[in-house]
Structure 1
């Protein structure tokens, strides 16, 4: 059983949502712009989902259009706001010189601001709003700069830490400001009441795949009377607000999720989610003495825990969890490949060791009590593995490594080495270890195979391989500890092997 604790990156698709998408593809496949029966049936479905979305978001007025996801919604909102500023300038009006965004925003926001600021030739000053140790915006700073801002972007809840923004405080700080206000509602959908109209929020993008709908479907709310420019022009779909034939299967799936939010019974309530977080937090503290939480629970989403273990790098902790079938991340999935310290935690002013060791665990509102109990058991097992030496420091790892040329030479030697791929089966299928034929034993099943490998002749090298070289080093350390000294790990993992 896989314990998936990376729901802030994406969620599985709700069974009802899968069924709705398949039914739509089979039975309601018409183009909603067509005027015949099949088209009218599709149009009715589309309108019904939009009406449901208005109820869930509490927005009887304003624009509400379907998008491909939050990034498109953000691009549309930023383009709309900045084009309005350019038109003001061209009309001889003074334009506020600042474009502000929260220092912990998802990269999609500042990158969109910089892009359209340059493309439209505005060249206004783009500046981050500082945050405190709790990840919340510095409202005093914002009040001091609000009068000079033409656009302010703040997320409702942070994707890495779960920190919930003080939207009422931000609204008060912007009360006399000319700025348009964009609130990224991605992590808030189904978890927080955003009160979009009461707070006079101008733009709010949402993404379906963060709440059990498929990837490729989202929503953008635009308040009545604020500037709007379509990002896509063409056939006039979405009342001319977003060209392109609508993603009917995705819309139907999103509709099923919205219906589940309205009717209840599928998603846990806030109190239950808090109880689940408390169980996970207790298991983490038991498993890893000295562990710290990087955001206070009192002002964070109950579905997100961001932690750091002193002396253990994030990638080592992720590999340890992965070997136990627990899927976590070091932060935003969009920046995972760079393996850099979290800019979110750096913006919060946390110490370097915390930003380098931070790991995010996030669960979904549909995850039940049995799932949480199993997750806690796995986390405790990971703690036991860590205490048994499953995580190595850099010096210990280096002593076990054999680089790609040396491995190639070993494969051509008279005494053939045994090569063992310790990745999970799914990883092995996606990226075969070309030129390294041997056994495939996931790290999670290593203990059963160790006695057999210990019985090999001392002259037979055993070379473990994995994606990055971290899990293979753990395997090599385990086998050496059992007495087979001629044991190695492929340095740099399969990425280095492929490059060589």
Structure 2
């Protein structure tokens, strides 16, 4: 009954033992991957092995992957300079920052409705690129990206599709070919790899928009000496994540998420479970207690020994209503009163029940003071 409980896997997952071991081994590899001597070839072998491991998890060829410093950089690499980009307000900040036309309509669950400013979606898009997330980091709601791609293909539009796969990859069966993506972002630390390393899938025949010119590493798509330690950790984490999927680990996590939500629903008449009517990631629950600020809830639970979030990690520290929840139709008060609890393979039923008990006591105190 002692010790802290980590329930913020969507922000970052604990480093997997396999990733740590691979990184420690890579630290002893001397060469530069671009060098042709034996030491250089040994370093390149580390990168090539990891590229294959990540590619297998993502369902693509190794040469289709570009290693980057983050998924945020991967998004920038995919978007040409001066390109026009369309998308919705439920996209992550790393992608939303590039969107010129955030006018895709979403329903109360945050799912794309198929309309753009009230007009049929694919008939209204004349941008260079469209951005669609596979899974929302705040709510866990899943988007089916393939129908959008198929509609654009049918209309023969020269529009490329950037899919944000950061939260989906490693948690649900997912692959580049089933996503319809021309470009797809991934991040190591969301699957138990190290922070500071990401990847971009680039569909064969397409180019990227390199933001860092120089030595022409990563097949000329991203210059700079490769971070072989981070890449090795990414590869090992990807292999372990693929094994977890095969072994049904996330099915167990989904059951824990359901136990948590049932406990909250049974004891709280004020709480709104966000996106419960939609397909979601197996580990994510987002709920709103109107008037009780999310930041306050995070601090209360932190003092009680639980790590949770009031939104996506890139927005933490900003006292404002969730842009995602407002797009889904929640008002400012509701959107500012949400928390996200995201579980992982290491979460136990005891963790979930302890959290529910502690949070419900805190909620009762909040309403007693507000009365």
The verdict on a shared fold, with TM-score over 0.5 as the criterion, is yes
Q: CA deviation at 1:267?
A: 7.1
Q: CA deviation at 1:109?
A: 1.3
Aligned residue in 1 for 2:169: 189
Q: Distance in 2 between matches of 1:52 and 1:351?
A: 43
Aligned residue in 1 for 2:72: 71
CA RMSD, Structure 1 to Structure 2 (Å)? 2.4
Cα contact 1:326–1:375 (8 A) shared by 2: no
Q: CA deviation at 1:377?
A: 1.6
Other structure's SS at 2:98 match: helix
Q: CA deviation at 1:268?
A: 4.7
Distance 1:61 1:20, change over 3 A: closer
Q: CA deviation at 1:342?
A: 0.5
Q: Distance in 2 between matches of 1:391 and 1:23?
A: 55
Q: Distance in 2 between matches of 1:155 and 1:43?
A: 32
| Residue 367 (str. 1) matches residue 349 (str. 2) | no
| Residue 161 (str. 1) matches residue 139 (str. 2) | yes
| Residue 45 (str. 1) matches residue 54 (str. 2) | no
User: Given the alignment, which residue of 301, 304, 319 partners 2:281?
Assistant: 301
Aligned residue in 1 for 2:237: 257
Identify the structure with the greater helix proportion: 1
Give the gaps of 5 or more residues in structure 1. 86-97, 114-124, 397-500
Equivalent residues, number: 364
Q: CA deviation at 1:392?
A: 4.6
Q: Distance in 1 between matches of 2:11 and 2:357?
A: 24
Aligned residue in 1 for 2:6: 4
Q: CA deviation at 1:169?
A: 2.6
Aligned residue in 2 for 1:105: 91
| Residue 17 (str. 1) matches residue 19 (str. 2) | yes
Distance 1:266 1:252, change over 3 A: farther
Distance 1:264 1:340, change over 3 A: closer
Q: Distance in 2 between matches of 1:325 and 1:266?
A: 32
Q: Distance in 1 between matches of 2:226 and 2:367?
A: 50
| Residue 134 (str. 1) matches residue 103 (str. 2) | no
Greater shift after overlay, 383-392 or 311-320?
Answer: 383-392
Distance 1:192 1:265, change over 3 A: closer
Other structure's SS at 2:235 match: helix
Q: Distance in 2 between matches of 1:267 and 1:363?
A: 17
1:88-487 map, 5 Å: 99-113=85-99, 126-141=101-116, 143-175=121-153, 176=155, 177-264=157-244, 268-296=248-276, 298-364=278-344, 366-368=345-347, 371-388=348-365, 392-393=369-370
Q: Distance in 2 between matches of 1:22 and 1:128?
A: 46
Q: CA deviation at 1:388?
A: 4.6
Greater shift after overlay, 151-160 or 309-318?
Answer: 309-318
Distance 1:245 1:319, change over 3 A: same
TM-score of the aligned structures, taking structure 1 as reference length:
0.68
Q: CA deviation at 1:285?
A: 2.6
Other structure's SS at 1:299 match: coil
Q: C-alpha offsets along residues 92-138 of structure 1, whole Å, 9 cap, x if unaligned?
A: xxxxxx6301221111213234xxxxxxxxxxx53431211010112
Q: Distance in 1 between matches of 2:245 and 2:185?
A: 26
Cα contact 1:320–1:391 (8 A) shared by 2: no
Aligned residue in 2 for 1:462: none
Q: C-alpha offsets along residues 263-307 of structure 1, whole Å, 9 cap, x if unaligned?
A: 448975342222111111123234534321011254111111000
Distance 1:286 1:200, change over 3 A: closer
Distance 1:239 1:386, change over 3 A: closer
Q: CA deviation at 1:346?
A: 0.1
Higher relative contact order (CA closer than 8 Å, sequence separation 6+) = 2
Q: Distance in 1 between matches of 2:240 and 2:62?
A: 23
Q: Distance in 2 between matches of 1:199 and 1:316?
A: 37
Other structure's SS at 1:159 match: coil
Distance 1:199 1:16, change over 3 A: closer
Q: Distance in 1 between matches of 2:247 and 2:232?
A: 19
Cα contact 2:171–2:245 (8 A) shared by 1: no
| Residue 30 (str. 1) matches residue 8 (str. 2) | no
Distance 1:75 1:126, change over 3 A: same
TM-score of the aligned structures, taking structure 2 as reference length:
0.90
Q: Distance in 1 between matches of 2:135 and 2:69?
A: 21
Other structure's SS at 2:112 match: coil
Q: CA deviation at 1:199?
A: 4.6
Cα contact 1:287–1:381 (8 A) shared by 2: no
